[in-house]
Structure 1
Amino acid sequence: MQDVIELTRELIARPSVTPDDAGCQALIAERLGNAGFRIEHLPFGPVKNLWAAHGSGSPVFVFLGHTDVVPTGPVEAWASDPFVPSIRDGKLYGRGAADMKGSVAAFVLALEEFVAAHPQHRGTVAVLLTSDEEGDAIDGVRRVVEHFRASGQHIDYCLTGEPSSKEKLGDLLRVGRRGTLSGTLTVRGIQGHVAYPEKARNPIHQAMPALAELCGRRWDEGFPREGEALFPPTSFQISNIHAGTGANNVIPGACEVVFNFRYNPGWRAAELEREVHAALDRHGLEYSIAWHRGGEPFLTGEGALRRAAREVMIARCGVVPDENTGGGTSDARFIAPMGAEVVEMGPINASIHKVDEHVALDELQRLPAIYREIVEKLLT
């Protein structure tokens, strides 16, 4: 499986910081085109998306991934150039090694080997890649799904290679994710001199009691909701507060607060929005909120894909995977509403988004066979 290492190295060497694909998808399209896949490029705005499919009809099995990576941070903090792949101590280092160019390379190898061994397989096997997973996720899989709905393309099974493993390859199978809802709250006050607060209205002071209420609330208490026990608790987190003119003797005229919900299937974005507005209204604030609905929660119940993935992980990794819904979000949140069974399985995630990101060579070399066998259980 040396080829998966070389392909991962080729992908790492392309500095594809969101939303720049930097030629990753062209490289993959050429390889899969030579293997007999139908290639369709689906660019939206500055984002590149690739759909490569083999076979026809149902069931449709899709590998889902992204070619973009997060920024490196200070390059001088890395032991080696983050876009010059380096092998040390049995690990491959470079930005995207684990998240998720190693998985993407393994997809390609698995697909090439699968269609070579089963040229007349039943149904359709495909890969969907985007360069907009680490960013705003507006013109990536979200837009591709809109295109699919319009064109009648359906998906039955979807496996995304997000780095899900904790300590050993295969020890975790992600079967769902919480939803995500972000808001930018602007509380308006009246600017004035700090020595004359009676002539001003401090939006920071006004916002604090309302924010304390939102932060302190146990959002799932008193709401017995379906699926709640399978998910981490709904969480409200403030990520930024900004106010002030730069002078310490001026009461600002406005305060901006950026916050996010991660919520389980008991909630919907519209319900949470109403709850926030009600709390702010109770405190008499003059405010506005710009909302961004990042995606509703999903859960894949026991089915053909979940069983196949579990069986292969037990056999190939020697561990019974923890099947859970933790973590952040992924592009799987856009595929699940199409009615697809969706799971996530990939390398150890300990180094993702960090300095000196890496993937263990032995894990990387085992991934193509794992992915291929899951497809074989469903399409042969």
Structure 2
Amino acid sequence: MHVADLTEELVAIPSHEDESAAGEFVASWLRDHTDATVEHDAHGNVVARKGSGDGDSLALVGHHDVVPPDESQVDADGGYVVERSDGRIYGRGSADMKGSVAAAMLAFEAADTPAEDELVFVSFAGEEQGGVGCRAAIEDGFSVDYAVVGEGSTGYSAPGITDVAVAHKGRRGSTIVAEGAAAHASEPEAGANAIYRATEAVDVVRGLEFPSTGVLGHEVRGSVAVTEIDGGSAWNVIPEQCEATVDERTVPGERAPLDRVEDTEGVSWRVDQDLPPMACGDADFADAVLDSATDAQDGAPEHVVKPHATDAGWLAAEGTDCVVVGAAEPGEAHTADESVSVDVLERCQRIYEGVAASWVR
């Protein structure tokens, strides 16, 4: 089966509110086309295994859920619109990341059953909701030694080149909460202005240094920014509460000391989301995947750093050495005209096949 045809079948299945139909398609296809042990678990994850599992384990990792589609991406019957034009497949989830899932399925099908190691295919549910499927699988005992995660890595070192990401940033979203005391605006000294307290805390954030670290010779530099502020109830009332949203892009092993904002009177700080970063700790594995990527294309791929959090962060936190290799290019995912290159899907299939052949025994 050609990767473009399998991608189109996957993309056509709605999976932004309920991933069960897409997961069942993946599980059924693997049962029909491989002799692997296939599980479609209660969380919606699909896990297929080949090999004895006595040695190392290598996983090809993806997810089959998507973000809500644009209205132009849905047909009259509620299905997703899928089109192929000029060597690209258009539709919600084509780039993020059903195209790479299809490439991994075909690579898993083509791979020989390892004699000593274990080859795993896994497509998680709920990645777009903070990695809930991956986290649930880990809680249930899912563990692998190495993973190639099929999120986008194309176009980072040069246009059209599929690179190997050896690290990615995480995201910690948090809220500064400033509380004061309401009063009439004509007598501001009678109250305590929560907006003033919040802006003092914002100044603390502005003064923080961005976290940074090194991964396999590459600098990974984070960032911290206040992105929203909300406070006040009326033009003539001293505000008693104000909140500010902070977006921090985290790096492996480092966090900005945002708790310093609580040194400001009346200010507290809470973490709303913390998606972990990823750093590959095995240079030999990263080099082996880069060799496969080099063999699969005419250009010269590189080890790169990816700015976006993925399920690789959750796996890495549990000890899995991960890299990210996938078809999506920057700016393709989550858009009204989301698309993926058929040529790059074919390339990713070759990369995954090459890694499986070279790394498992």
Same fold, TM-score > 0.5, yes or no: yes
Q: Is the 8 A contact 1:178 1:231 kept in 2?
A: no
Is 2:59 the partner of 1:62?
Answer: yes
What amino acid maps onto 1:3 in structure 2?
H
Query: Aligned pair in 2 of structure 1 residues 313, 172: CA closer, same or farther (>3 Å)?
Result: same
What is the aligned-residue identity percentage?
28
Tell me how far apart the structure 1 counterparts of residues 106 and 215 of structure 2 sit (CA, whole Å).
Answer: 36
Counterpart pick for 1:24 among 22, 25, 29: 22
Is 2:232 the partner of 1:244?
Answer: yes
Q: Is the 8 A contact 2:170 2:277 kept in 1?
A: yes
What is aligned with 1:90? 87
**1:120, distance to aligned residue in structure 2 (A):** 5.1
Counterpart pick for 1:276 among 251, 258, 261: 258
Counterpart pick for 2:130 among 105, 115, 136: 136
Tell me how far apart the structure 1 counterparts of residues 210 and 337 of structure 2 sit (CA, whole Å).
Answer: 37
Is 2:335 the partner of 1:354?
Answer: yes
Is 2:143 the partner of 1:154?
Answer: yes
Residue correspondence of structure 1 range 1-380 to structure 2 within 5 A: 3-17=2-16, 20-34=18-32, 35-44=34-43, 48-57=44-53, 58-75=55-72, 83-114=80-111, 118-119=112-113, 121-137=115-131, 139-148=132-141, 154-166=143-155, 168-220=159-211, 230-245=218-233, 247-268=234-255, 272=256, 275-281=257-263, 283-284=264-265, 286-292=266-272, 294-347=274-327, 348-380=329-361
Tell me how far apart the structure 1 counterparts of residues 152 and 13 of structure 2 sit (CA, whole Å).
Answer: 20
Tell me how far apart the structure 2 counterparts of residues 121 and 50 of structure 1 sit (CA, whole Å).
Answer: 23
What amino acid maps onto 2:231 in structure 1?
A
Q: Is the 8 A contact 2:24 2:40 kept in 1?
A: no
Q: Is the partner of 1:231 in helix, strand or coil? A: strand
TM-score normalised by L of structure 1: 0.85
Moved more, 5-14 or 192-201: 192-201
Query: Aligned pair in 2 of structure 1 residues 218, 228: CA closer, same or farther (>3 Å)?
Result: farther
Moved more, 254-263 or 298-307: 298-307
Moved more, 97-106 or 123-132: 123-132
Q: Is the partner of 1:127 in helix, strand or coil? A: strand
Tell me how far apart the structure 2 counterparts of residues 228 and 216 of structure 1 sit (CA, whole Å).
Answer: 29
Q: CA-to-partner distance for each residue in 1:86-145, whole Å, 9 max, x for gaps?
A: 11222110011111000001111111111xxx24543111112222111132x3111211
Q: CA-to-partner distance for each residue in 1:245-282, whole Å, 9 max, x for gaps?
A: 3x3333332112221222223525xxx4xx3233431x
Tell me how far apart the structure 1 counterparts of residues 316 and 165 of structure 2 sit (CA, whole Å).
Answer: 13
**1:74, distance to aligned residue in structure 2 (A):** 4.8
Tell me how far apart the structure 2 counterparts of residues 200 and 228 of structure 1 sit (CA, whole Å).
Answer: 54
Note the residue ranges of structure 2 that are not aligned, 5 or more in a row.
none
Query: Aligned pair in 2 of structure 1 residues 59, 296: CA closer, same or farther (>3 Å)?
Result: same
**1:335, distance to aligned residue in structure 2 (A):** 1.0
**1:15, distance to aligned residue in structure 2 (A):** 1.6
Query: Aligned pair in 2 of structure 1 residues 182, 350: CA closer, same or farther (>3 Å)?
Result: closer
Moved more, 198-207 or 96-105: 198-207
**1:178, distance to aligned residue in structure 2 (A):** 2.5
Tell me how far apart the structure 2 counterparts of residues 101 and 3 of structure 1 sit (CA, whole Å).
Answer: 14
Query: Aligned pair in 2 of structure 1 residues 71, 4: CA closer, same or farther (>3 Å)?
Result: same
Tell me how far apart the structure 1 counterparts of residues 346 and 259 of structure 2 sit (CA, whole Å).
Answer: 51
**1:24, distance to aligned residue in structure 2 (A):** 1.0
Tell me how far apart the structure 2 counterparts of residues 360 and 187 of structure 1 sit (CA, whole Å).
Answer: 48
Alignment length (residue pairs): 354
What amino acid maps onto 1:93 in structure 2?
Y
